Amino acid sequence: MIRVVCKAKLKPGVDIEEYLNLAREVVKETRKEKGCIMYTLNEDINDSSILTNIEEWVDEEALNQHNKSEHVLNIVPKLRELRESTEINLYREVKY
């Protein structure tokens, strides 16, 4: 299983609802994808301009296919334009 944490900080003055409407479309379409276990959009409790996607995928191939999907290719560039910064981290669970 692969986990992804994608933290975005919106640019000052960005209409958060505009960002959320685009992001909700990505969430809706992504949840339909084969290999998607979980895909959520989360708002920072102390700063509403920080939004984080937390994702779980069955494997790297499913994540790679997601990154090539139509909704990612069409909507994510629009989201990037509204962000001041983005940090993406990929994780595998440590076996114990």
pLDDT of residue 24: 97
Task: Say which CATH number the domain at 37 has.
Answer: 3.30.70.100
Q: Domains in the chain: how many in total? A: 1
Q: Counting runs of H as helices and runs of E as strands, what totals does the chain give?
A: 3, 4
| SS3 state at 63 | helix
Instruction: Indicate the pTM of the whole model.
Output: 0.90
Dihedrals phi, psi of 34, to nearest 5 degrees: -65, 130
Domain carrying residue 36: 2-92
Beta bridge partners of 87: 7
Per-residue pLDDT of the chain (96 residues), as tens digits, is 999 999 999 999 999 999 999 999 999 999 999 999 999 999 999 999 999 999 999 999 999 999 999 999 999 999 999 999 999 999 998 998
